[in-house]
Amino acid sequence: MILAFLDLNGQFSLMQNIDEIEKLIKLISKLPGLGPKSAKRIILKLINSRDELMKPMANNLVEIYKNVSRCKSCGALKSNTVGCNNCEISQKKYNKICVVESIADQWSIESSNIFQGYFHILGGTLSSSTNQRKEDLLISSLVDRVKRDSIEEVIIATSATVEGQTTAHYIKDSLKKSEVKVSKLAQGLPVGGEIENLDDGTLFSAFKNRRSIEKNSD
């Protein structure tokens, strides 16, 4: 079998079937927004830039694999050698926590500069379709952080999907014994919208117009 690759000049070059390359094509194709054709272009670029790109990238990926993991308390990425910048060694003290589904959501909100506070990354949402259970999410550690860090407001920034709203309701119920104010994103967040796909203006509106959630007393 012969694979055709589109090089950077738009010309097709032929490469023999090489197991290592085929494996890498399959792996890169699993990344968001990338398919086999894009994977082939990326691999060809790496091969043509072995010292400038391939070697340092490979070394960096090994370092990340060894030294970076998710914090068991807040869910953010942390350095195993230094600690978590979000909840362990933060230089600033805040009284708010923004709860999001994923690290991608955290990065989207951080880049927009609309929120100053801690983040709490759940690692997903409650969903029967994916068998995601409440035990799989970092909700109990959220309750612990609220008590430990004297948090005054928890902003629930889950997506406007059925799963996101179900998760928001469960978080609200989990915090009902605390004195913390619980709010959720409001106007500007379209139904079915996922946080990481929203533009800065929409996020700003959603945060500015967030509303308090009444906690059940039972």
Q: What is the per-residue burial (b if ≥16 Cβ within 10 Å, else e) of 139-169?
A: bebbbebbeeeebebbbbbbbbbebbbebbe
For residues 135 and 197, membership in a common domain is answered with yes
For residues 200 and 111, membership in a common domain is answered with yes
Q: What is the CATH number of the domain that holds 138?
A: 3.40.1360.10
Q: In this structure, is residue 83 part of a structural domain?
A: no
- Helix and strand totals (H; E) in the chain: 7, 9
Residue ranges of E strands in 19-147: 68-70, 77-79, 96-100, 118-121
pTM above 0.85, yes or no: no
Q: In this structure, is residue 73 part of a structural domain?
A: no
Q: In this structure, is residue 77 part of a structural domain?
A: no
Q: In this structure, is residue 202 part of a structural domain?
A: yes
Render pLDDT for 82-102 as a digit per residue (tens, 0 to 9). Answer: 889 888 777 778 999 999 999
For residues 156 and 207, membership in a common domain is answered with yes
Residue 156 has pLDDT above 80, yes or no: yes
For residues 180 and 103, membership in a common domain is answered with yes
Looking at the DSSP bridge assignments, the partners of residue 120 are 99
DSSP structural state of residue 51: I
For residues 104 and 160, membership in a common domain is answered with yes
Tell me the Ramachandran region of residue 131: left when phi exceeds 0, alpha when psi lies from -120 to 50, beta otherwise.
left
- Coil vs helix vs strand at 164: helix
Q: In this structure, is residue 156 part of a structural domain?
A: yes
- Higher-confidence position of 184 and 67: 67
Q: How many structural domains comprise the chain? A: 2
- Give me the domain span that covers residue 38: 2-68
For residues 128 and 37, membership in a common domain is answered with no
Boundary residue ending a domain (68, 84, 107): 68
Q: Identify the pLDDT of residue 97.
A: 95
Place 179 in a pLDDT band, splitting at 50, 70 and 90: confident
Render pLDDT for 8-22 as a digit per residue (tens, 0 to 9). Answer: 444 334 554 788 999
Contact (Cβ atoms closer than 8 angstroms) between residue 96 and residue 182? no
Q: Identify the pLDDT of residue 1.
A: 43
For residues 104 and 185, membership in a common domain is answered with yes
Q: In this structure, is residue 218 part of a structural domain?
A: no
Q: Where are the alpha helices (DSSP H) in 29-102?
A: 36-48, 55-67
For residues 56 and 153, membership in a common domain is answered with no
